[in-house]
A and B are shown apart, each in its own frame.
Chain A
């Protein structure tokens, strides 16, 4: 098989993965709406059976779930007590979306492998390949995280963001396989770029959890009456804790990325730090997330404010990957569009 054959197979696999991601996204959205319905029925039941408590003491259930520190959310806590009628729908859609994500991920990995074989090197040497690898890692981190905690309520977020990024990159930035320019021929390409994308995967997940946290905070304060699925999600406090754990791992990877990049720059360009555009943004992202970690330890900054910082951080990550790569001039601009 020639390199061109492999590259075409890779592209077919990418489009297949995209299609399955879209299906997974649909299943995930149905899963969210099933959560809403279940929450509604649970409320009805609660109203019917224990009207006084449910109406007068909404804080009680929140407190109960907060105390059971862990994945048990407040919705599930309510459901367990009331033996809710329809958690099966949620479970069914969750299983479906997870299976679809797993299939899409397998296709995605196959696309990466064939692309790498076609190019005869790691498949992250230009913008299209960065996107291909980066989105694959986001999904990988999402799937791996399920072994840690049940985060399937993020399925719509994860598949949505991946489908959009991968679709845009494939349509706009696809390039044929090409050899690497000498400046990119280095073991550091493998390490630095891979760890950077790994960090990005964790930041992406942390961003999703922070969005959920912000929504949940509003919901707990009586807002967002129509986003009923939130009742089936963990409490905002639990979400914040999850987000911070995930982001801290991402931060450790990012710190390593920063350092590995400096070492590589020293070998390639003769200086370890030169405030090149890409270096500036790597630094900004690092400092914002250091700010996030500090915010979580500063009185008055826990909760909503730190969640916003997490989102500022992830926006900077996305900005760095898209706008900076595309529009800004710098030494990194050989990303081969």
Chain B
């Protein structure tokens, strides 16, 4: 107990300065290990590793990251091919999974484990221990002050114990010679909070690291009046974690019934600003009925162990292509991808079967068309208002039969014959039908639907990470704002009354300690004040008039 901070790494400011260890030039292997371990778990190493961690994160913000901005990485490669090769060799495009970043945080957490285990052991012991023996001399301690009192020493010391207890201190009576004393300690929660904080950080790392393997995220574009069922094959794309198990997918269904986007015109920038996106869905859990549900940005839909996010939206014109005999050879909504804030969109229609030749068309869609000069069109707003679809038409082998997956949103025009170019593009309003070139048939813009782009996530770690993070915050608040201190009251009977001594000891920084000792002394001694010429032996009642000792001061616990 003589060393209040033996629980801390040796280079903690409050740790005793160890006598310089005899320099042993030839450490045994075990000695080396012990030396390295002590080095790793020292305060200075933790500090240096923390600073290194901050430094190592910087490149991750300077160049685009594969994880968050893959297109940015490709762009970077295009713009600076030479620099890219060098930087990519260093791994800065995946900073946060790079070996050097991982090394820093793994070492840091190793250091943390090594630091926390001995401290926890020590703290558990401290929790069970009694407050330490009252020092022989209080004079040199913080806030030392003395009072005189009238009354019976035993009663005075008992009252002191009660006052300290009331303030939340753990108390212990120690008597030595004729001196009676109370030793009190409080603020164990400070160290508890600190340990909880550090352990909870480990918890965050573990939850993210281990739990991450169970995460999957999938993407799916869902067109109005169509449904999606949560099976592997229904996703447009999916990123499964290491422990992903297809059989765990719960086959619920979602159907998009309606979508509304509302916008406000911003006169200053002459643009439409989105105000709200709402997708009206119907959902069905296995064995259940369709039930309506609403999906908005910022408000994911929880269903079947997944969270469904609304990430994007657009228009899907319904197209019907007929052969010269009038039979429909292609019919359905085609997803067009927005190119600007007014939902001017680009889409590709591929008709592989049923016509004399395979046809590919590149379509431009203007929900709210206006002339943009040079005969070109633009969209004035994102709202559909006499929309127009224009089409370039290509014929030839679309390459759909080679077995190689083809991007449905792109048309590779190499090797195709252009039948209709941009300048004389087919132009259709909603409900219009026009002839395809070369007597191939007709095409109709038969309807218009909305679609939404959904992100579907399954993340069982969330709850754990949140729990660990909230625990860390709780521990942090305890450790930052609860003072840990010791207080002593000594009662020394003398010839002419009783002398009371008060003093404290801070563990860690405690600027309020002096005031706390003074307030304790005031509050305790006041009850036993020898009140001037009052008849001896008449102790003031506990409810002595406040005015006699000035305004009551709040005692800081």
Contacts and interface: CB of A to CB of B under 8 A. Distances in A.
Interface string A261-284: 011001111111111110011011
B507 interface: no
B185 to A, nearest CB: 20
Contact of B509 (A241, A272, A275, A300): A241
Nearest to A313: B54
A294 B50 contact: yes
Given A295-B47, A298-B11, A275 B96 contact: yes
Contacts of A185: 276, 297-298
A182 B43 contact: no
Contacts of B509: 241, 244
A324 B62 CA distance: 10
Nearest to A185: B298
Interface string A238-251: 00010011001001
A179 B264 contact: yes
B69 A294 contact: no
A87 B107 CA distance: 54
A329 B69 contact: yes
Contact of A259 (B53, B274, B275, B470): B470
A158 to B, nearest CB: 22
Contacts of B58: 280, 284
Nearest to A291: B50
A138 to B, nearest CB: 21
Contacts of A302: 13
Interface string B296-316: 111110000001010100000
Contacts of B273: 178-179, 181
Contacts of B47: 291, 294-295, 298, 301
Contact of B12 (A291, A298, A309): A298
A281 B9 CA distance: 30
B338 interface: no
B473 A256 contact: yes
A229 B61 CA distance: 41
Interface string B13-52: 1110000000000000000000000000001101100110
Interface stretch (B119-127, B346-354, B461-469): B461-469
A276 B459 CA distance: 19
A287 interface: yes
A268 B297 contact: yes
B68 A276 contact: yes
Nearest to B217: A270
Contacts of A269: 309
Given A69-B511, A186-B298, A252 B54 contact: no
Contacts of B477: 252
B50 A270 contact: no
Nearest to A295: B47
B511 A70 contact: yes
B12 A290 contact: no
Contacts of A280: 57-58, 60-61
Contacts of B72: 329
Interface residues of B, number: 60
A131 to B, nearest CB: 18
Which of B54, B266, B311 neighbours the largest number of chain A CB atoms within 10 Å of its CB? B54
Interface in B460-500: 462, 465-466, 469-470, 472-473, 476-477, 480-481
Contacts of A179: 264, 273, 275
Interface in A72-104: none
Nearest to B48: A291
B536 interface: no
A299 interface: yes
A255 B473 contact: yes
Nearest to A183: B297
B353 to A, nearest CB: 38
Given A266-B462, A270-B217, A298-B12, A252 B57 contact: no
A269 B65 CA distance: 17
Nearest to B308: A270
A274 B46 contact: no
Chain B interface mostly: mixed
A59 interface: no
A176 B268 contact: yes
A284 B511 contact: no
B514 to A, nearest CB: 7
Interface in B60-84: 60-61, 64-65, 67-69, 72
Nearest to B271: A178
B144 interface: no
A290 B50 contact: yes
A331 B336 CA distance: 23
Contact of B61 (A287, A288, A328): A328
Nearest to A249: B480
B277 interface: yes
A318 B58 CA distance: 15
B13 A298 contact: yes
B457 interface: yes
A23 B472 CA distance: 44
Nearest to B264: A179
B298 A182 contact: yes
B455 interface: yes
A224 interface: no
Given A256-B473, A270-B455, A175 B297 contact: no
A12 interface: no
Nearest to B15: A299
B275 A182 contact: yes
Contacts of B296: 182
Contacts of A301: 44, 47
B457 A271 contact: yes
A252 to B, nearest CB: 6
A148 B467 CA distance: 34
Contacts of B309: 269-270
Contact of B60 (A255, A262, A275, A299): A275
Given A181-B274, A255-B476, A272 B298 contact: no
Which of A186, A288, A291 neighbours the largest number of chain B CB atoms within 10 Å of its CB? A291
A326 interface: no
Nearest to B142: A69
Given A262-B469, A274-B67, A284-B57, A267 B13 contact: no
A63 interface: no
B67 A275 contact: yes
B511 A287 contact: no
A268 B470 contact: no
B272 to A, nearest CB: 11
A57 B134 CA distance: 37
B11 A299 contact: yes
Which of B43, B68, B481 neighbours the largest number of chain A CB atoms within 10 Å of its CB? B68
Interface string A40-76: 0000000000000000000000000000011000000
A298 to B, nearest CB: 4
A267 B50 contact: no
Interface string B440-471: 00000000000000010101001001100110
A252 B469 CA distance: 13
Interface in A285-311: 287-288, 290-291, 294-302, 309
Contacts of A298: 11-13, 43-44, 47
Contacts of A295: 47
13 contacts: A70-B511, A179-B264, A182-B275, A252-B473, A267-B300, A268-B297, A270-B217, A271-B459, A275-B67, A280-B57, A280-B61, A290-B50, A298-B13
Given A69-B511, A182-B276, A252-B480, 9 more contacts: A179-B273, A255-B472, A255-B476, A275-B65, A275-B67, A276-B68, A299-B12, A329-B64, A330-B69
Closest A-B pairs by Cβ, 3 of them: A182-B297, A298-B43, A280-B61
